[in-house]
Structure 1
Amino acid sequence: MNSTPGSASTVAPAGPRLKRSLGTPSLLLFGLAYMLPLAVFTTYGLVTETTGGHLAGAYLVTTIAMLFTAGSYASMVRAYPVAGSAYTYTQRTFGRHLGFLTGWTLLLDYLALPLLNYLVIGIYLNAAFPAVPAWVFIVGSVVLVTVLNVIGITLVTSANLALVGVQIVFIAVFVITGLSYLSGASSVPNLLDPFFSAGTPLSGIAAGAAILALAFLGFDAVSTLSEEAKDARRTIPRAILLCTLAGGLLFIVTAYIAGLVFPDYAHFTDTDSAPLDVMTRIGGGALFTFFTAAYIAGSFASAMTSQASVARILFAMGRDGQLPRRVFAAVHARFKTPWLAVLIVGAVGLVGALALPLDVAASVISFGALVAFSFVNLAVIKHYVIDGKERGARAMTTHLVAPLIGFALTVWLWTSLSGTTFVAGAIWVAVGVGVLAIVTGGFRRKPPVMDFSEEDPAPLLEAAADPAR
């Protein structure tokens, strides 16, 4: 059905466009909320055991790798300041088929992250209020997050200020309490142990660092807001780099203090609830209660931002004709948001959170992230050095050497993931190949492509008059 001026929604090419309202501070808050500053404690027990007690070292490795990749994202945003993230960068650089599959792979992470947050919210609130089933909290959080995302991205970023602030306050309290505990302790472990110790296998730290890549999806999420940012070529790159650096420092400091406070990781009461042991040791029940409240607030903020980001990736793919345009490219006439895409992501999150266990939801997020990160690093080289024929010391450093280092580090982390993760990722990619085959009529034609200009973000869709495409 064609849209009318008074209808609830329109399709992007002919109707309202996304509103450019976000500056660098809002984008930075969005990315930090997505990253979840307290994400250290989501996989704390698992990665601490995997790395042999060197969680801070694993975060240091991941942060270095992600800073190189964030630089590549910043370079690609300057070339293509449009929605779509790694999907758009790969498509415009390596072609439509590979662009679709890159976006499809990254989509797995974006769909799983809101689901993971909803699961965590249900688990922690159920622990605090055992009389209320976890599913009640899951349903309530999904509904609230979805409504906020339909109303508008500006409202989401306003809420992020308070929710990120709560986490920063907790981290400050945790660090101060941890240092106070250490000052009164009869013995303190070697100050370098949380990073590395003699005899520690590098493979263990690499395996842990690979899992932690999921904590850095925030800078990719920032790039999905390119069409809602003021002066995207300047604000988005700046926010991406600041988000990666700030998030990495928060993770490293928190993991370092936790490693000093509780070096005897082999004595965790339970790996999944290992933060309870840490909080109880340095602050008793009061600190753990504060942690629970701050962590739930952070998970809610991350759910809001992750749902907003995946909706905008679906929006970009819908405008491209690689998903049904009338559904995924629909923009709400009043709120200027991709409302149908938001509703679909909410429905997927609800079903998944009610049906899947936490470990399954968490196991696949890093897979797609590292695949997408690898292609973005390669895209910089292809766009600037090979196609753009840039030369000179600065160009070679920024657009060749740095992306090559980023690519090598992301591939190293990617190949350090577990076999189970690769199986799940391979299944998802195979489904994507099937979808691509349908879209292209058995690969007999190229997928549709969109064209943007900075002044007019609405795409000029190929074959717009051909409903079959």
Structure 2
Amino acid sequence: MQGNSTTKAVNPLLRKKPVATLIAESESGALPPGAPEHGGRSGIHLRRSIGLWQVAAIGISCTVGTGIFFVLNTAVPEAGPAVLISFVLAAITAGLTGICYAELASTIPVAGSSYSYAYATMGEGIAFGVGACLLLEYGVAASATAVSWGEYLNKLLDLTFGVTIPDALAAPPGSGGYFNLPAVVLVVLCCILLIRGASESARVNAIMVGVKITILVLFVAVALSAFRTGNLTPFAPHGVAGVGMAASSIFFSFIGLDAVSTAGEETKNPRRTMPLAILITLAVVTLLYIGVALAAVAAQPSNRFAGQEAGLAQILQDVTGHGWPALVLAAGAIISIFSVTLVELYGQTRILFSMGRDGMLPQRFARVWPRTGTPAWNTVVVGVGVALLAAFVPLDALTDLTSLGTLVAFTVVSAGVIILRRSQPGLNRGFKVPGYPLTPILSIAFCLYLVYGLHSGTFLMFGVWLAGAAAIYFGYSIKHSRLARPAEEEDLAAGVSSH
């Protein structure tokens, strides 16, 4: 009965998808109304094949590396050594939101992340906007990390063989080159691995995460040997405003928490596994970020960070006077950034999958390849888009745009906890937010504070993106939404119940 009332809402923007329907679809692999019976039910059904540590590795992989290998180059000039406080602010915000993610991920263990949560709590219009934010967030972040991969690859080639890839083929237009070939190669390799299967990708990613953590711990140990208190003064040359701006900019480094929730439909025992994986991710990431940031700013004057390529490797080379530590870190960064790009592409394909299954996008996005159980079409589309951005567009200015998309998604998740607690208190929750309702309220407040610290141009670009998303929604999605066809939805619900 709940499904009938939601589908007959007067305003399509306010249509909500019942939690029971979301879960039933994820568990049954039911076909959308009107979809061809291609490949059987498995044609749109993701496989539950990922365990706790593999899911946690997805979160750690997407978070550690997205920022820490290159974000200091932009954050330290804004905040100085007080970038440490910026990381703490971002970590507190991510921690509060991560707890909210843990509750919703254990309650609605599906593939769409905050898009699906918004659909269940706030309605179709906001859900589509959140989906657009997530696609922007993952697309820009994947492109940015792919670009940075070329920097560390060049560092490794220089240290090992004394050669580098020419700038014309290693940087996009506007950054001294014509075409970023290493970035395209990276995206292609990640797409091939993703198409092969989720469990295979997760297994390879878990190995790369172990290498990444080892490398960063090595960096902290070596860089702290060059600790100079003089490098920490002046501590906050640009005051509180600089600290806030840096915190807002680096917040995109915490999108790994959202990446964990995109794996909800492929995770074994998700009600227990998802919250544990999010909390493990949060603890590991926070310790590593603050440790690396402290070691870096204490080992090198803050005025040397701006424009420094392969920054962490360069710091090790300067500290030790030898090439081998920088060589090890550059190799680790190449592995690390590969895993980051892999997970960011993964998250984007699963959000497209959920939106396609809901009718928000053409149904081709809701199909998986029966042989591997992966959305191969989505992977190809995402791969082409990200490769083109990384190859031809200088993305430094888009870091804030990724942060804004992330903060919008995080705010929706925190508000969703409050709404779902009030509207459906009897739902099966594998984890409950401690300190409710204060925790989600504080999460929303911190997110809004970081939004306030973003550059004004970011909001203009964000508005253009949302305008494009609105055009797609009102031109296609509002008419093709599964909730726009209540009779067919009732038939589907009956089929699911009897399955």
Q: Is TM-score (shorter-chain normalized) higher than 0.5?
A: yes
| 1:383 counterpart (403, 408, 420) | 420
Q: Distance in 2 between matches of 1:321 and 1:463?
A: 16
| Residue type at the aligned position of 2:229 | V
| Residue type at the aligned position of 1:377 | S
| 1:154 counterpart (192, 199, 202) | 199
Structure 1 moving runs of 4+ over 4 Å: 1-4, 196-200, 271-274, 394-397, 460-464
- Measured after TM superposition, the shift of residue 225 of structure 1 is 0.7
Query: Is the CA contact (8 Å cut-off) linking 2:63 and 2:340 kept in structure 1?
Result: yes
| Residue type at the aligned position of 2:67 | A
Query: Is the CA contact (8 Å cut-off) linking 1:377 and 1:403 kept in structure 2?
Result: yes
Cα 1:229–1:278, aligned 2, differ >3 Å: closer, same or farther? same
- Measured after TM superposition, the shift of residue 226 of structure 1 is 0.6
TM-score (norm 1): 0.86
Pairing 1:18-37 to 2, within 5 Å after superposition: 18-37=46-65
Q: Show the counterpart of 1:166.
A: 211
Cα 1:79–1:53, aligned 2, differ >3 Å: closer, same or farther? same
- Measured after TM superposition, the shift of residue 317 of structure 1 is 0.3
| Residue type at the aligned position of 2:442 | I
State the Cα RMSD in Å. Answer: 2.8
Q: Distance in 2 between matches of 1:269 and 1:437?
A: 43
| 1:238 counterpart (276, 284, 289) | 276
Cα 1:212–1:463, aligned 2, differ >3 Å: closer, same or farther? farther
Cα 1:269–1:208, aligned 2, differ >3 Å: closer, same or farther? closer
Q: Distance in 2 between matches of 1:213 and 1:146?
A: 26
- Measured after TM superposition, the shift of residue 386 of structure 1 is 5.1
Q: Distance in 1 between matches of 2:242 and 2:303?
A: 15
Q: Show the counterpart of 1:47.
A: 75
Query: Is the CA contact (8 Å cut-off) linking 1:121 and 1:137 kept in structure 2?
Result: yes
Query: Is the CA contact (8 Å cut-off) linking 1:178 and 1:282 kept in structure 2?
Result: yes
SS in 2 for 1:332: coil
| 1:188 counterpart (192, 209, 229) | 229
Q: Does 1:105 align with 2:103?
A: no
Pairing 1:317-466 to 2, within 5 Å after superposition: 317-325=355-363, 327-385=364-422, 387-388=424-425, 398-440=435-477, 447-449=481-483
Query: Is the CA contact (8 Å cut-off) linking 2:67 and 2:250 kept in structure 1?
Result: no
Equivalent pairs counted in the alignment come to 436
1:253-309 alpha-carbon deviations (Å, 9 max, x no partner): 1101112112x2124473555445522331233222222211111110011111111
SS in 2 for 1:357: coil
Query: Is the CA contact (8 Å cut-off) linking 1:166 and 1:294 kept in structure 2?
Result: yes
TM-score (norm 2): 0.81
Cα 1:210–1:450, aligned 2, differ >3 Å: closer, same or farther? farther
1:326-347 alpha-carbon deviations (Å, 9 max, x no partner): x201111110011111111111
- Measured after TM superposition, the shift of residue 462 of structure 1 is 7.3
Query: Is the CA contact (8 Å cut-off) linking 1:311 and 1:342 kept in structure 2?
Result: yes
Query: Is the CA contact (8 Å cut-off) linking 1:139 and 1:350 kept in structure 2?
Result: yes
Q: Does 1:72 align with 2:66?
A: no
Q: Does 1:308 align with 2:346?
A: yes
Cα 1:386–1:333, aligned 2, differ >3 Å: closer, same or farther? closer
- Measured after TM superposition, the shift of residue 204 of structure 1 is 1.4
Query: Is the CA contact (8 Å cut-off) linking 2:87 and 2:289 kept in structure 1?
Result: yes
Query: Is the CA contact (8 Å cut-off) linking 2:77 and 2:305 kept in structure 1?
Result: no
SS in 2 for 1:51: helix
Q: Mind listing any 5+ residue stretches in structure 2 that lack a counterpart?
A: 1-33, 158-162, 171-179, 493-499
| Residue type at the aligned position of 1:66 | A
| 2:261 counterpart (223, 232, 248) | 223
| Residue type at the aligned position of 1:106 | L
Query: Is the CA contact (8 Å cut-off) linking 1:45 and 1:275 kept in structure 2?
Result: no
Q: Distance in 2 between matches of 1:303 and 1:162?
A: 15
| Residue type at the aligned position of 1:165 | G
Query: Is the CA contact (8 Å cut-off) linking 2:42 and 2:368 kept in structure 1?
Result: no
Query: Is the CA contact (8 Å cut-off) linking 2:150 and 2:183 kept in structure 1?
Result: yes
Cα 1:417–1:463, aligned 2, differ >3 Å: closer, same or farther? farther
Q: Distance in 1 between matches of 2:422 and 2:80?
A: 41
Pairing 1:71-150 to 2, within 5 Å after superposition: 71-126=99-154, 128=157, 129-131=163-165, 133-134=169-170, 135-150=180-195
| Residue type at the aligned position of 1:56 | L
- Measured after TM superposition, the shift of residue 40 of structure 1 is 1.5
| Residue type at the aligned position of 2:461 | A
| Residue type at the aligned position of 2:197 | G
- Measured after TM superposition, the shift of residue 16 of structure 1 is 5.3
Pairing 1:4-19 to 2, within 5 Å after superposition: 10=39, 15=43, 17-19=45-47
Q: Show the counterpart of 1:256.
A: 294
Q: Distance in 2 between matches of 1:354 and 1:170?
A: 28
SS in 2 for 1:40: coil
